[in-house]
Amino acid sequence: MITSYSVGEDIDSWCTKCKLELGHTIIAIVDNVPKKVKCNTCNAQHNFRKKPVKGSRTTSKSPARKTRSKEKTYEEYITRLSGGDPANSRKYNTKGNFEQDEIIDHLSFGIGIVLSVIQSNKIKILFKDGPRLLIQNQ
């Protein structure tokens, strides 16, 4: 079945602003296919989309994919910590000066290991829940 579209006609489209499939008005057509639409709810104008674009912020990763990523980060965390003794960790504070591979104890995030010194006042630390950028030498 071939569908014929015309400008001003209503059509369902994925709204990039509302993050829902809603009624839109066609404002441009190319080769008998809607190109630009205007949301009838929020008045946003955007390209016609039948469904959310894969990989955009409108779609989330599958729960299994998120779990694998967290498991990988956690495995890296355990592997890095196994080389040092968490009992000998230094308490983190913003005035401290930390070095790469140093084990620290943060009040909120727990035990972590310094992955890198980014600048003299910034360090990247790997905690159980993932890497974080913190300040030092303040």
- pTM for the full model? 0.47
Average pLDDT of the segment spanning 105-127: 89
- What percent of the chain is modeled with pLDDT above 90? 32
C-beta atoms surrounding 93 within 10 Å: 12
Q: What is the pLDDT of residues 35-70, one digit of tens each?
A: 999 998 889 999 999 876 565 554 444 555 555 566
Q: What is the pLDDT of residues 65-97, one digit of tens each?
A: 555 566 667 667 767 766 767 777 899 999 999
Would you list the domain boundaries of the chain? 10-47, 70-135
CB neighbour class for 136 (10 Å; exposed up to 12, middle 13-18, buried from 19): buried
Task: Give Cα separations from 4 to 11, 22, 30, 74 (angstroms).
Answer: 12, 20, 12, 54
